[in-house]
Amino acid sequence: MPRYLLTRAWHSALTLVLATIVVFLGIRALPGDPALSLAGEDRSPEALAAIRAEYGLDQPMIVQFGRYVERALHGDFGTSIRTGLPVSDMIRTALPVTIELSALAILIATVLGVGAGVVAAVRRGRPAEWVANGLALIGLSVPHFWLGLLAILYLSVATGLFPASGFVPFTEDPIGNLHHIILPAVILGTGLAAIIMRQTRSAMLDSLSADYVRTAKAKGLSPRAVIGRHALRNSLIVVVTIVGLQLGGLISGAVVTESIFGLPGFGKMTIDAVFQRDYPVIQAVILLTATAYIVINFLVDLLYSVIDPRIRVAGEAA
The residues of the shown chain that bind other proteins, judged by CB under 8 A, are: 210-212, 214-222, 225, 229-230, 233-234, 307-310, 313
Question: In this structure, what are the phi and psi dihedrals at residue 46, rounded to the nearest 5 degrees?
Answer: -65, -45
Q: Which amino acid is at 283?
A: Q
Yes or no: say if 200 and 208 are a contact pair by the CB < 8 Å rule: no
Question: Cβ closer to other proteins: 180 or 230?
Answer: 230
Least distance between other proteins and beta carbon 230 (Å): 5
Least distance between other proteins and beta carbon 303 (Å): 13
3-state DSSP call for residue 142?
A: coil
Least distance between other proteins and beta carbon 233 (Å): 5
Question: Cβ closer to other proteins: 126 or 277?
Answer: 126
Least distance between other proteins and beta carbon 255 (Å): 37
Yes or no: say if 119 and 132 are a contact pair by the CB < 8 Å rule: yes
Question: Cβ closer to other proteins: 102 or 234?
Answer: 234
- First vs last C-alpha separation in the chain: 12
Question: Cβ closer to other proteins: 80 or 234?
Answer: 234
SS (H, E, C) 148-211: HHHHHHHHHHHCCCCCCCCCCCCCCCHHHHHHHHHHHHHHHHHHHHHHHHHHHHHHHHHHHCCH
What lies within 8 Å, CB to CB, of 60 at 6+ separation is none
Q: Which amino acid is at 236?
A: L
Question: Cβ closer to other proteins: 199 or 234?
Answer: 234
Least distance between other proteins and beta carbon 126 (Å): 11
Question: Cβ closer to other proteins: 85 or 314?
Answer: 314
Least distance between other proteins and beta carbon 317 (Å): 12
Least distance between other proteins and beta carbon 133 (Å): 20
3-state DSSP call for residue 268?
A: helix
- Radius of gyration (Cα) for the chain, nearest Å? 24
Beta bridge partners of 86: 79
Measure the CA–CA gap between 100 and 265, rounded to whole angstroms. Answer: 10
Distance of CA 250 to the CA centre of its chain: 5
Question: Cβ closer to other proteins: 73 or 317?
Answer: 317
Question: Cβ closer to other proteins: 107 or 210?
Answer: 210
Least distance between other proteins and beta carbon 217 (Å): 6
Question: Cβ closer to other proteins: 32 or 125?
Answer: 125
Yes or no: say if 183 and 257 are a contact pair by the CB < 8 Å rule: no
Yes or no: say if 179 and 167 are a contact pair by the CB < 8 Å rule: no
Closest CA to 256 of 194, 187, 182: 187
Least distance between other proteins and beta carbon 124 (Å): 10
